[in-house]
Amino acid sequence: MTRTLTLPRPDDWHLHLRDGAMLAGIAPESARHFARAIIMPNLVPPVVTGDQAAAYRHRILAVTEDGFTPLMTLYLTETTDPADVVAAHQAGIITAVKLYPAGATTNSASGVRDFDRVRGVLDAMAEAGIPLLCHGEVTDPEIDIFDREAVFIDRVLDPIRRRTPGLRVVMEHITTADAVAYVRSQPEGLGATITTHHLVINRNHILVGGIRPHYYCLPVAKRETHRVALVEAATSGDVRFFLGTDSAPHPDDAKLSACGCAGCFTATNTLSILAHVFEAAGALDRLEGFVARNGPAFYGLPVNAATITLEKTDTPVPYPARIETGAGPVTVFDPGFPLYWRVL
């Protein structure tokens, strides 16, 4: 029996499109299924000014079809000019500002070391209603990598939110039950994105039976109890949780290395995987909220008028193992189970 599911066209609230040949190779994988995406600014060098964001937006539009809208972000540094941020937002060039603690992840060397130095920008953002998107991990070498998200909540996120109560914040790519509980405990102004891969893998998938570089990403996947908490949050219908794939391509030779890059590339099969995860949780009716309604509600944007239809098939849906790009092949995330839902 065939089943179909029609949804408003989904959005991806956390996406890495890169630049140059990689951008050209992988952007169509997102534009095929998603109407809008929040575009991460961690290029080399990073996107730090409104002018740079406008130029990057043009480069994205040049390689995607009509109907895909990149929502640009600025990379927050200790020298970011509050006036430039507010002007870029008022001009419709940017949607949000991204906070990377310095050294937390791929291309984050220009990130923030001393949070007191960005107070002026955060105040201006609160005033102008510009959301702050947090890579929520501390970088203190003494903190175990599996604890870095939970410690970030106590040491950085909660103090920022107490000091700047009007600031709207998204905790990006949450990976722990601690983050789920923190978001739920806050009455307003805080949302969280959840990736596709963190709904599927735990840390055993990375480390048991041989090391799997294609499952290595940041924040790193945690133990199974945390994955279960993420599935519960995503499928609960709570509007504060929404999809941000964090699809983060690296050429295979950069992943399959003695010091491999962090990032899972899920753009190609994300919707098939999510339909599987939500169906398995008995929550297929809540997929629409997670991928198409909760994000726009947080950002104060309309739900997309266009629709997308998923169909459940009897035989597994084929998808490419890798995408060939001018920057080299990029391996598509393997959820470890066959997929039966396909996008029509």
What is the bridge-based pairing of β-strands 307-312 and 3-8? Answer: antiparallel
CA distance readout (Å), 260 to 10, 24, 107, 215, 304: 31, 23, 14, 11, 37
Is residue 246 at the binding interface for Zn ion, with CB under 5 A as the rule? yes
DSSP 7-72: EEPPEEEEE---SHHHHHHHHHHHHTT-SEEEEP---SS---SHHHHHHHHHHHHTTS-TT-EEEE
Known catalytic residue: 19? no
Residue 106 within binding range of ligand NCD, rule CB under 6 A = yes
- Closest approach, Cβ 247 to ligand NCD, in A, equals 9
Q: Least distance from C-beta 118 to Zn ion, angstroms?
A: 19
Residue from 246, 255, 271, 327 touching ligand NCD (CB under 6 A): that is 246
Is 84 one of the binding residues for Zn ion (CB under 5 A)? no
Task: Give the tokens for residue 262.
Answer: 């962090």
Q: What is the DSSP letter of 292?
A: I
Among 228, 262, 301, 303, binds ligand NCD (CB under 6 A): 262
95: tokens are 């949607």
Helix (H, G, I), strand (E, B) or coil at 329: strand
136 near ligand NCD, rule: CB under 6 A:
no
- Residue for token pair 């929040």: 38
Q: What is the DSSP letter of 305?
A: S
Binding mask 24-53 for ligand NCD (x = CB under 6 A): ------------------x-----------
Q: How far apart are CA 215 and CA 194, in angstroms?
A: 16
Task: Kindly tell me which of 100 and 341 has the beta carbon lying closer to ligand NCD.
Answer: 100
What is the smallest separation between the CB atom of 246 and Zn ion, expressed in angstroms?
A: 4
> Looking at 24, 199, 201, 217, which residue binds ligand NCD (CB under 6 A)?
217
Which residue lies nearer to ligand NCD by CB, 106 or 269? Answer: 106
Considering CB under 5 A, how many residues would be counted as binding Zn ion?
A: 1
Q: Which two tokens stand for residue 140?
A: 């203190």
Interaction between residue 196 and ligand NCD (CB under 6 A): no
CB of 239 vs ligand NCD, minimal distance in Å: 23
Q: Give the interface with ligand NCD as residue ranges (CB under 6 A).
A: 16, 42, 105-106, 135, 217-218, 246, 248, 262-263
